């Protein structure tokens, strides 16, 4: 079960990776968590993939996390009489609520919430930013625009409104139905698309409760304006560079990526860097050198995980893509500059007992070089706080909750193991030492540093640190 790296790999399943044999091959190549993308596929497709993941998990003996990714409120234009039109720079073009098929002068935009938020001067992006319109005049059911960047616009292409907070819920009727289905399956993480404000997280939390951890996908500029508040309410965050790169100039995305990773690390929230990481491997058995550097940059910054999308879902080389990503991560983590960078970017712990214990854990691990650090955790809290510190030794998270072990599969440096309950400190230390030895983290005489909360089972009670030795 032991991984030889701290950062994790999140792989999307799809038509190219939905057999039991392929899912097992992906897990053996390095995938720690699998993503079910609810923008595509039926409930039956996702249920079968989930069943196969759990079958593979039982075979390999390592907890595997499952993340369901909700589609969110995707905004699109309507259809055109001839399927597409050519928009010429400088031309006038109207968007309205009229469901009639569009032409070169107008198109249906069936989203009154967009018109409610527009004002003169607002720019609209169409088809992933390939076309750009400027609003000259607008009302409750229309917007008269000038084409700034032209091109071909076809049926059902997406619309982005950068810089505007739209008065819409992040959860559509489809998302709510998908969410009910995914939670009934038993998914471990729910990725919430197009988060704009902290209230979006509160709305999702009311529906999800503690049945899964929530990952906020940061792909709207408005979310960056409320970054710290959103991170505080989420269980994890994703740098979703696809839509973020549409609504912002591309030169700003790397800067924001680093800012988001550092803010999430400071708050102790797992952070995933996603989108186009090994894009060329959809059709090529090897990535470009630039893509390899892109993955490496996320690891040097201290991201918890990096994600594959179409590369593993529909590409020709899904297993190879995971293996290449695994190799890049391992190579970076062997570089002394990687550890030096983590130390340099480390942020001070908060003035509370759990953070003080985990800060001490980091210092003790740096001095004693133990075989492992061991966190006893029921909710996952102790392991998350330990991971925030980025200790030099691997974090062995022993938990009586299988769901917690699966959620922690996404977290930097954590090797999560379902384990029986313990009843006192002596039993805890004995089990920690035995687990470190049995699972291949150390041998007789090696040190292990154990953290836990007393009384056992109480979330946020991390208040104990103990150094033990693996018995002979």
Residue 118 has pLDDT above 70, yes or no: yes
The 10s digit of each residue's pLDDT in 142-178 is 999 999 999 999 999 999 998 889 999 999 999 999 9
Helices (H), 287-352: 289-300, 310-313, 318-333, 336-344
The backbone torsions φ and ψ at residue 219, rounded to the nearest 5 degrees and listed phi first, read: -140, 10
- Domains of the chain, start order: 8-72+170-339 (3.20.20.60), 84-160 (2.40.33.10), 353-469 (3.40.1380.20)
The backbone torsions φ and ψ at residue 158, rounded to the nearest 5 degrees and listed phi first, read: -75, 155
Region 413-440 average pLDDT: 90
Closest alpha carbon to 376 in 394, 355, 397, 391: 397
The 10s digit of each residue's pLDDT in 232-245 is 999 999 999 988 98
Q: Are 226 and 198 in contact (CB under 8 A)?
A: yes
The 10s digit of each residue's pLDDT in 199-234 is 999 999 999 999 999 999 999 999 999 999 999 999
With residue 438 as reference, give the H or E element that holds it: helix 425-438
DSSP label of 346? -
Structure tokens at 99: 């469901």
Region 136-143 average pLDDT: 97
Helices (H), 209-352: 221-225, 227-233, 241-247, 253-267, 289-300, 310-313, 318-333, 336-344
Angle between helices 43-60 and 173-185 (to 10 degrees): 30
The 10s digit of each residue's pLDDT in 29-77 is 999 999 999 999 999 999 999 999 999 999 999 999 999 999 999 899 9
Structure tokens at 106: 């107008």
The 10s digit of each residue's pLDDT in 101-112 is 999 999 999 999
The edge-to-edge listing of strands for the beta sheet with 106-108 is: 106-108, 92-96, 142-149, 131-139, 123-126, 159-160
pTM: 0.94
Split at pLDDT 50, 70, 90, the class of 458 is confident
Q: How far apart are CA 375 and CA 361, in angstroms?
A: 10
Residue 423 has pLDDT above 90, yes or no: no
Give 318: exposed, middle or buried? Use CB within 10 Å, 0-12, 13-18, 19+.
buried
Region 346-374 average pLDDT: 94
Give the rounded percent of residues in the chain with a pLDDT score beyond 90.
90
Residue 11 three-state SS? strand
With residue 399 as reference, give the H or E element that holds it: strand 395-399
435 or 2: which leads in pLDDT? 435
Region 76-88 average pLDDT: 97
Lowest-confidence segment of 58-67, 90-99, 239-248, 351-360 by average pLDDT = 239-248
Region 409-416 average pLDDT: 97
Mean pLDDT taken over the chain: 95
The whole-angstrom distance between residue 106's C-alpha and the CA centroid of its chain comes to 38
Query: What pLDDT was estimated at residue 83?
Result: 96
Closest alpha carbon to 261 in 7, 1, 46, 3: 7
The 10s digit of each residue's pLDDT in 253-298 is 999 999 999 999 999 999 999 999 999 999 999 999 999 999 999 9
Closest alpha carbon to 226 in 238, 235, 218: 218
Report, as residue numbers or ranges, the catalytic residues: 35, 76, 217, 275
Residue 1 has pLDDT above 70, yes or no: no
């Amino acid at each position: 079960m032991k991984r030889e790296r701290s950062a994790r790999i999140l792989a999307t399943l799809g038509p190219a990776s939905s057999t039991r044999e392929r899912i097992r091959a992906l897990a053996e190549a390095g995938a720690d968590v699998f993503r079910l993308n609810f923008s595509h596929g039926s409930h039956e497709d996702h249920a079968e993939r989930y069943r196969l993941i759990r079958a593979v998990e039982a075979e390999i003996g390592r907890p595997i996390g499952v993340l369901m990714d909700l589609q969110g409120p995707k905004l699109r234009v309507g259809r055109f009489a001839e399927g597409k039109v050519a928009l010429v720079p400088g031309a006038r073009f109207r968007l309205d609520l009229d469901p009639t098929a569009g032409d070169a002068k107008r198109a249906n935009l069936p989203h009154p919430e967009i018109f409610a938020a527009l004002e003169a001067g607002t720019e609209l992006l169409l088809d992933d930013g390939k076309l750009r319109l400027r609003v000259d005049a607008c009302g409750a059911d229309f917007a008269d625009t000038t084409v700034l960047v032209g091109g071909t616009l076809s049926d059902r292409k997406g619309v982005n409104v950068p810089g505007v907070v739209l008065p819409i819920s992040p959860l559509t009727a489809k998302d709510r139905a998908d969410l009910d289905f995914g939670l009934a399956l038993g998914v471990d993480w729910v990725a919430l698309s197009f988060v704009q404000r902290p209230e979006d997280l509160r709305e999702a939390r009311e529906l999800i409760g503690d049945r899964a951890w929530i990952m906020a996908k940061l792909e709207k500029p408005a979310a960056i304006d409320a970054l710290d508040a959103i991170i505080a309410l989420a269980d994890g965050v994703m740098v979703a560079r696809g839509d973020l790169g549409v609504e912002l100039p591309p030169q700003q995305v790397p800067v924001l990526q680093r800012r988001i990773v550092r803010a999430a690390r400071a708050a102790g929230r797992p952070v995933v860097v996603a989108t186009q990481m090994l894009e060329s491997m959809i059709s090529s058995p090897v990535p470009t050198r630039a893509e390899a550097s892109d993955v490496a940059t996320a690891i040097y910054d201290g991201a918890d995980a990096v994600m594959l999308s179409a590369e593993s879902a529909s590409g020709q080389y899904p297993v190879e893509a995971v293996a290449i990503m695994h190799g890049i991560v391992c190579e970076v983590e062997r570089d002394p500059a990687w550890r030096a960078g983590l130390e340099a970017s480390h942020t001070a712990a908060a003035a509370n007992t759990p953070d003080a214990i985990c800060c001490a854990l980091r210092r003790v691990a740096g001095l004693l070089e133990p075989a492992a650090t061991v966190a006893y955790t029921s909710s996952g809290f102790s392991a998350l706080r330990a991971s925030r510190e980025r200790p030099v030794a691997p974090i062995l998270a022993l938990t009586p909750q299988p769901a917690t072990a699966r959620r922690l599969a996404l977290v930097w440096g954590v090797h999560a193991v379902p384990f029986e309950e313990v009843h006192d400190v002596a039993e805890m230390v004995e089990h920690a030492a035995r687990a470190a030895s049995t699972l291949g983290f150390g041998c007789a005489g090696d040190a292990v540093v154990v953290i836990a909360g007393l009384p056992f089972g109480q979330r946020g009670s991390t208040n104990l640190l103990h150094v033990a030795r693996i018995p002979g």
